[in-house]
Amino acid sequence: MKRDCPDSNAIQEYLDSAPGSLEAADIEKHAAACPECGARLESLRAVHSVLGGIDPGPPPAELRAAILSAAAAARPAAPSWARIWAAAALIAASSVLFILMFPGVSGIAEPAGGGSAVSRAFGLLESAGDGIQSGLESIGGLFPDPRRLDLDVAGAVPFDTGALAAVLAVLLVVASGVNVAAFRKTRSAAASIRRSGDMPYEGDVK
Amino acid sequence: MSLPEPAKEVLEKARDGDPGAFDSLVGTYYRLVFNFAWRMTFNRDDAAEIVQEVFLRLFRNFQKFNPEGRFGPWFMRLAVNVCINERRSRMRKAIPSLSGEEDACGPDTNLPQAGESLDRTESREIVLRAVEDLKPSYRAIVMLRYLKDLSYDEIAAILGLPEGTVKNRLFRAREVLRAKLERIGISR
């Protein structure tokens, strides 16, 4: 390469730029007179032509549908009413069970004359009702103006301990069943998404 | 040429999880991403898988998009990085072929063939083989340049690199391809 020959970068800029400029005319004139630069220009033109000429053709016909299907599978399921009620039941049942097992730490005042475990449990139901209410409020505006769940412990207690335990058991089984079913559904959807490795996608390309 | 840019309303709806708006985005970009992914793999099946992965990542990471910026370059950067990672992964797994037979990473047979002289066909094979040997990040720049005849500054916006760096890498990559072509002497 002689001193007045354009460097490879200049030739490449010439190939990338619109034809007809003054610099382009200079390069063409030089390449016509200089065999070395002429050969270089021809080689770069061949590369340019190959890379500009390749084309994969249209994408597979089913590709768009497959993309949308994969995105739909990845979409998180909206909370269903069954799940909301199951969660509420689980909270209530757990709270009552807790007070039955640990009456000393509940902080609920016992009625005059002592009070049974059942009356303490209903006392806790009142506080659990408040907890459920605040939980429902946090679910995202589903209950903009919820009625308070007032559970009155005054008066006669209509259930005995056995009946209460049975209700608790049913609540726990239902809530667990709903949540296990939801978990299986989520796991199944996740398994259907192929190639879910967690690769970075931001940052510089080094 | 420049990248397509969806309407702001479509982007906002798609970010909020509207399936119709997401479908519209897929319609706008999937051919472009498929074309680029194919240029990075020379394999239609692999390219189709990559396209699905790219849109899945868009779906999961849409909240990271800054609505004040341009969507096209942001999204294409995502696509480029998925392709580069995929390419690197395949290069690590690939066993060098000593027999000269077509291997899994080689160009597939869908390349246009008709109406070309033998020299031109051979030149193309040499160039495409040489492309396979480029570093994925360099290959990405070369392929972006020819994807839609993108300008240097558009490529720079996609990659988040200075325009000078893009030009430098593009020229170096093409110089490597030219040198390989000249070494074999087909083009002379």
DSSP letters of B57-98?
Answer: HHHHHGGGS-TTS-HHHHHHHHHHHHHHHHHHHHHHHPPPPS
**Residue A144 above 60 pLDDT?**
no
CB count within 10 Å of CB B176 equals 18
Q: How many CB pairs under 8 A join A and B?
A: 146
CB of A47 within 8 Å of a chain B CB? The answer is: yes
Contacts of B60 (CB under 8 A, 6+ apart): A74
CA B83 – CA B162 distance, rounded (Å): 21
A63/B48 touch (CB, cutoff 8 Å), yes or no: yes
- Tokens describing residue B47: 């390219």
- Yes or no: say if A40 and A11 are a contact pair by the CB < 8 Å rule: yes
pLDDT at A159: 54
- Yes or no: say if B170 and A12 are a contact pair by the CB < 8 Å rule: yes
CA A194 – CA A108 distance, rounded (Å): 53
A2 pLDDT band (50/70/90 cuts)? low
Between A138 and A158, the more confident residue is: A138
A140 pLDDT band (50/70/90 cuts)? low
Instruction: Residue A44: name the closest of B135, B16, B54, B172 by CA.
Output: B172
For the stretch A157-206, pLDDT in tens is: 555 667 777 777 787 777 777 767 766 665 554 444 433 333 333 333 33
Question: Along chain B (188 residues), what's the average pLDDT of each consecutive run of 10 residues?
Answer: 89 91 95 96 95 95 91 96 89 53 42 50 89 93 92 94 94 93 67
pLDDT at B90: 78
CA A122 – CA A159 distance, rounded (Å): 10
| Phi, psi (degrees; rounded to nearest 5) at A14 | -60, -45
**ipTM exceeding 0.85?**
no
Between B167 and A17, the more confident residue is: B167
Average pLDDT, chain A: 70
| Phi, psi (degrees; rounded to nearest 5) at A74 | -85, -10
Q: Which of B111, B175, B187 sits opposite A42 (nearest CB)?
A: B187
Between A76 and B182, the more confident residue is: B182
Average pLDDT over residues A98-120: 59
B52/A53 touch (CB, cutoff 8 Å), yes or no: no
pLDDT at B188: 46
- Yes or no: say if B136 and A199 are a contact pair by the CB < 8 Å rule: no
CB of A205 within 8 Å of a chain B CB? The answer is: yes
Distances (CA, A) of A11 to A28, A37, B137, B142, B150: 9, 9, 23, 16, 18
Residues in chain B closer than 8 A to A12 (CB atoms)? 170-171, 174-175
Helix (H), strand (E) at residue A47:
helix A35-53
CB of A73 within 8 Å of a chain B CB? The answer is: no
- Yes or no: say if A186 and A74 are a contact pair by the CB < 8 Å rule: no
CA B177 – CA B175 distance, rounded (Å): 5
Q: Which of B34, B175, B178 sits opposite A59 (nearest CB)?
A: B34
Instruction: Residue B35: name the closest of B94, B87, B80, B102 by CA.
Output: B80
The DSSP 8-state label assigned to residue A55 in this structure reads -
Q: Which residue of A has its CA nearest to B146?
A: A52
A-facing residues of B in 104-133 (CB < 8 A) are 110-112, 123-124, 127-128, 131
Distances (CA, A) of A16 to A9, A12, A37, A143, A180: 10, 6, 17, 62, 60
- Tokens describing residue B63: 């909240």
CB of B183 within 8 Å of a chain A CB? The answer is: no
pLDDT at A202: 36
- Cα B119 to its chain centre, rounded Å, is 26
Q: Which of B175, B180, B183, B184 to mutate to test the interface with A (most CBs of A within 10 A)?
A: B175
Residues in chain A closer than 8 A to B56 (CB atoms)? 67, 70-71, 74, 193, 196
